[in-house]
């Protein structure tokens, strides 16, 4: 069990798959390097809100972020 598993359990939410963890890390990296470093944690939070709303999955959120970065 990892710290992230323990945190998910403490929050009462589903544990993240290794693939989703990689996507969130990719999102944070892309946002940090494509906009401003300080935007990475809030972007990850916004992606989580997007997924929780049922509007898409984490991969969809990453694609939307990448599209915004490409426009800049």
Q: What is the pLDDT of residue 36?
A: 96
Task: Examine residue 2 and state whether it is found in any structural domain, yes or no.
Answer: no
| 47-to-1, 21, 43, 55, 65 alpha-carbon distances in Å | 24, 12, 6, 10, 9
Task: Examine residue 47 and state whether it is found in any structural domain, yes or no.
Answer: yes
- Count of domains observed in the chain: 1
pLDDT digits (tens, 9 = 90+) for 53-62: 999 999 999 9
Model confidence, pTM: 0.87
Task: Examine residue 1 and state whether it is found in any structural domain, yes or no.
Answer: no
Q: Which domain holds residue 62?
A: 17-71
Task: Examine residue 34 and state whether it is found in any structural domain, yes or no.
Answer: yes
CA atoms within 13 A on the CB side of 15: 9
Q: What is the mean pLDDT of the chain?
A: 96
Task: Examine residue 7 and state whether it is found in any structural domain, yes or no.
Answer: no
Q: What is the pLDDT of residue 1?
A: 84
Q: Which residues of 35-57 are buried (b: 16+ CB within 10 A; e: fewer)?
A: eeeeebeebbebbeebbeeeeee
Task: Examine residue 5 and state whether it is found in any structural domain, yes or no.
Answer: no
Task: Examine residue 31 and state whether it is found in any structural domain, yes or no.
Answer: yes
pLDDT digits (tens, 9 = 90+) for 7-58: 999 999 999 999 999 999 999 999 999 999 999 999 999 999 999 999 999 9
Distance of CA 71 to the CA centre of its chain: 20
């Amino acid at each position: 069990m990892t710290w992230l598993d323990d945190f998910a359990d403490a929050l009462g939410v589903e544990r993240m798959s290794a693939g989703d963890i990689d996507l969130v890390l990719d999102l944070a990296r892309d946002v940090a390097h494509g906009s401003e470093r300080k935007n990475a944690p809030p972007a990850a939070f916004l992606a989580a809100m997007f997924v929780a709303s049922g509007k898409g999955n984490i991969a969809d959120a990453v694609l939307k972020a990448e599209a915004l970065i490409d426009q800049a």
